[in-house]
Amino acid sequence: MTIILKDKATLVFDDFSFRCAIGMRGKSKKKVEGDKKTPIGTFSLGNLYYRKDRHNKPQTKLKCIPIKRDMGWCDDIKSKNYYNKLIKISKNIKHERLFRSDNKYDFIIPINYNSKKPRIAKGSAIFIHLTKNFKPTSGCIALRKKDFLILAKLINNKTKIKLS
């Protein structure tokens, strides 16, 4: 089954509809790093990462990985080897920190956009993550915690997401 972005504020899966937020500059077929747009296309999903120090392991069929303090997601266009991949934080590599003081990344599922053979500067760190206020994102899909946890229960590693 496929999660569908119905419009810029609604994510649909099976009989469930969830309010969501997307990139502040809308959607794009020609996503580039830092454009604040959500990529258009159909993508698979990655593992579910969660803050073990704040939450119990969620009920899901996805593989769950606790977020550690030194975990980051490389968004460094100068880093050919690590671009758009999970990394151990290094001062030499620009990254998105996963262990955050706000609650946005208490639960995240990477959307496998530009991930198989990442093309530098085509966009990185596109996640399904949490929101409390539905403010536009930098390109991710954001859901309320309770909706994220419902969605996590319903999906599996064969689930795709269609952003159009």
* CA torsion angle 141 28 159 135 (round to 10): 10
Q: Which domain holds residue 141?
A: 2-163
Alpha carbon 69 to its chain centroid, in Å, reads 18
Structural domain tally of the chain?
A: 1
Determine the Cα angle at 157 with ends 156 and 160, to 5°: 90
Provide the percentage of residues in the chain whose pLDDT is more than 90: 99
Predicted TM-score (pTM) of this structure: 0.97
Query: Is residue 35 over pLDDT 90?
Result: yes
The arithmetic mean of pLDDT across residues 76-96, rounded, is: 96
Using CA atoms, how far apart are residues 153 and 122, in angstroms rounded to an integer? 31
What's the one-letter identity of residue 155?
I
pLDDT band, residue 158 (cuts 50/70/90):
very high
* CA distances (Å), origin 39, targets 7, 31, 63, 84, 135: 13, 6, 24, 14, 18
pLDDT band, residue 90 (cuts 50/70/90):
confident
CATH number for position 158: 2.40.440.10
The alpha helices in 2-86, defined as continuous H runs, are: none
